[in-house]
Homo-oligomer: A and B are copies of this chain.
């Protein structure tokens, strides 16, 4: 080893710094593969910071021949500010999850073109003209490919990282690889499973209309037991590598494509947390929809599509997951040698169905938790926030909370997904009396 080599080694890579647009231009110009893909001189690239999420910087970079999206983690929660630090390592876990998901669910996750561990930066293919699905739903847009794509994404990423598909050793290695992402898990544990049910400085809701309902959630011990059971599941049931933040703001769509982005909350957790997130966000889109209509009933077809979509998200997810279990179960659980012949096949199929029934109940519970946190907690969503008439917004939110409360405290009473959509239709007709 020469002393020059040692010096290089000691110097290490350049340290983390928050990139401005001009810094990013220089940085990307130094990456031949990326610069080549963008095309043209670096001075000609358009670069704009567009991040509207809660945690990161996001740059759109367009060159003469191509475009990329560049995401850089900030050392604090963007939504709150520097007073709430958050480890940059989440960019590492996001990169791990992105590349793993891309292998398991090809063409449903953007391709990573560059990752810089020290800068906590990941460059991905630019999705254009795709928009954030939540915005499309607010506009009343129907996405015919969505069910097919999202159920493939969930069935494949969850099944193929579960004990059904991998050996116990591989599973434990997976859990280990993501165990360090606990700061992001802690956000979920606090903001979803705890704060909305107690006095917390960061909570907010559409006041004064929801004051009484918010108080009732803080006082309802049955709800506190139910949310605590879900929190324990979230913390202690590493069933599969879950996305961990799979709402409609983490999905980019056109009418013919669906892409899942932003898996920085990824870790080994309960599968139902992802499925519940999708169902919860579709339920909120449905119950917020009346707040976005300009003439009465104009969004009825869209709303019917949402109801049907919720039902098909579960039934298609279940169908695909079961199909994978029947054909690709190479894990160490339920070994084929214990279930020979037609009797073995029958028993194993019954056991599969029983597992899916449990997964459905957990899905109903996690969906409820995701709805409640968006209305009574810190992070709200624009499905409701963009309803300018605050009283109308409160009506939509109160209906959502009424549904979510039943789903949270009595998940077992929902025999199937149609029971959920029926109840959603029911509460959509309810006119809350805020004076009572």
Where the two chains meet, the residues of A that have a C-beta atom closer than 8 Å to any C-beta of B are 163, 168-169, 171-173, 175-176, 179-180, 182-183, 185-186, 189, 194, 197-198, 221-222, 224-225, 227-229, 231-232, 235-239, 332-335, 337-339, 343-344, 346-348, 350-351
Contact = CB atoms under 8 A, between A and B. Distances in A.
A224 B182 contact: no
Given A168-B185, A185-B168, A339-B221, A228 B173 contact: no
A333 B228 contact: yes
A182 B189 contact: no
Contacts of A176: 175-176, 179-180
A351 to B, nearest CB: 6
Contacts of A194: 335, 337-338
Given A172-B182, A222-B347, A224-B338, 13 more contacts: A163-B236, A169-B186, A171-B235, A176-B179, A176-B180, A194-B338, A197-B338, A198-B337, A198-B338, A221-B339, A228-B333, A231-B333, A232-B334
30 contacts: A168-B185, A168-B189, A168-B235, A169-B182, A173-B182, A175-B175, A175-B176, A175-B179, A176-B179, A189-B332, A194-B338, A198-B335, A198-B338, A221-B339, A221-B346, A221-B347, A224-B338, A224-B339, A224-B344, A224-B347, A225-B348, A228-B334, A228-B351, A231-B332, A232-B334, A235-B332, A236-B237, A236-B238, A236-B239, A238-B238
Contacts of A237: 236-237
Contact of A333 (B183, B185, B232, B239): B232
Nearest to A332: B189
Given A224-B344, A339-B221, A344-B224, A179 B168 contact: no
Contacts of A236: 163, 171, 237-239
Nearest to A178: B172
A344 B185 contact: no
A162 to B, nearest CB: 8
Contacts of A175: 175-176, 179, 238
Given A171-B235, A194-B335, A337-B198, A343 B183 contact: no
Contacts of A222: 347
A343 B182 contact: no
A227 B339 CA distance: 12
Given A182-B168, A224-B344, A232 B163 contact: yes
Nearest to A224: B338
A351 B232 CA distance: 12
Q: How many copies does the complex hold?
A: 2
A185 B169 CA distance: 9
Nearest to A344: B221
Contacts of A179: 172-173, 175-176, 179
Q: What 5 pairs across the A-B complex have the smallest Cβ distances?
A: A176-B179, A169-B182, A221-B347, A224-B338, A172-B179
Contacts of A232: 163, 333-334
A336 to B, nearest CB: 10
A235 B163 contact: yes
A347 B182 CA distance: 29
Contact of A172 (B172, B173, B180): B180
Nearest to A228: B334
A197, A227, A238, A343 pick with most chain B CB within 10 angstroms: A238
Contacts of A183: 169
Contacts of A189: 168, 332
Given A179-B173, A225-B351, A235 B333 contact: yes
Nearest to A188: B168
A172 B238 CA distance: 11
A103 B182 CA distance: 25
A4 to B, nearest CB: 16
A221 B338 CA distance: 8
A25 to B, nearest CB: 38
A347 B186 contact: no
A237 B343 CA distance: 28
Nearest to A340: B198
